[in-house]
């Protein structure tokens, strides 16, 4: 699979781990600039300071210059700083795949990737798939063939499937299973997800 291992399950900076743990307890919505998960511990006497860094991200073709806390995860940066809420955080520890985005064409778990680590990168989210008012073939297939139920994991499933077809335009069922094993769905038995991906591949091949 094309996962960036060092950003998916491998050891990450302490600030990233603290951010991932705190993420499960922070309030949702609004600015989180003052949240405890956005602070790095520095100095003496237990003082807590907010350490920020300027970064540049190109998201769905649009360039953004931001100043973010160094402990800020990419998923939070995309959702709360840029207002693109199509990507969702599921597990917060990089194992469910719900937060999957494409970074320089490769899948990443954005809930454990620090935003500062993506500085200068090209990022694609679910919002960037449709072109000129037309859904991406993967999006259309998920609608036509029932590849989703509650929708929590759907954006991650679609982004992973898009990456699969970019790397392997005509995958076999076994290739789909192997590629998508990092994206969990707790509603369905995966058969409709597989069918949707295979039908999307056929639709693209016919274009």
Can you tell me the distance from the alpha carbon of 73 to that of 37, in angstroms, rounded to the nearest whole number? 10
Q: What is the DSSP string of 185-206?
A: -SSS-SHHHHHHHHHHHHHHHH
**Are 23 and 89 contacting, i.e. CB atoms less than 8 angstroms apart?**
yes
Q: Which fold has domain 5-128?
A: Ubiquitin-like (UB roll) (3.10.20)
Domain boundaries, the chain: 5-128, 137-206
pLDDT (tens digit, 9 = 90+) per residue, 37-55? Answer: 444 445 556 666 789 999 9
> Do 5-128 and 137-206 fold alike per CATH?
no
Average pLDDT over residues 53-70: 97
Torsional class of 61: left (φ above 0), alpha (ψ -120 to 50), beta (otherwise): left
- Identify which of 109, 123, 16 has the alpha carbon closest to the alpha carbon of residue 69: 16
Domain 137-206 indexed as CATH 1.10.10.10 = no
pLDDT (tens digit, 9 = 90+) per residue, 148-183? Answer: 989 999 999 999 999 999 999 999 999 999 999 999
The per-residue pLDDT for 44 is: 56
């Amino acid at each position: 699979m094309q996962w960036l291992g060092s950003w998916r399950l491998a050891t990450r900076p302490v600030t990233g781990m603290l951010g991932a743990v705190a993420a499960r307890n922070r309030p949702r919505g609004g600015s989180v600039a003052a949240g405890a998960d956005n602070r790095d511990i520095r100095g003496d006497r237990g003082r807590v300071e907010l350490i920020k860094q300027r970064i540049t991200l190109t998201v769905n073709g649009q360039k953004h210059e931001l100043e973010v806390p160094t402990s800020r995860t990419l998923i939070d940066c995309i959702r709360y700083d840029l207002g693109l809420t199509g990507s969702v955080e599921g597990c917060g520890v990089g194992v469910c795949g719900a937060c999957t985005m494409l970074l320089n064409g490769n899948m990443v778990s954005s809930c454990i990737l620090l935003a500062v680590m993506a500085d200068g990168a090209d990022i694609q989210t679910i919002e960037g798939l449709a072109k000129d008012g037309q859904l991406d073939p993967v999006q259309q297939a998920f609608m036509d063939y029932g590849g989703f139920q509650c929708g929590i994991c759907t954006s991650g499933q679609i982004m992973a499937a898009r990456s699969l077809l970019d790397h392997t335009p005509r995958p076999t069922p076994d290739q789909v299973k192997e590629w998508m094993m990092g994206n969990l769905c707790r509603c369905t038995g995966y058969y409709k997800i597989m069918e949707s991906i295979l039908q999307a591949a056929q639709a693209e091949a016919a274009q």
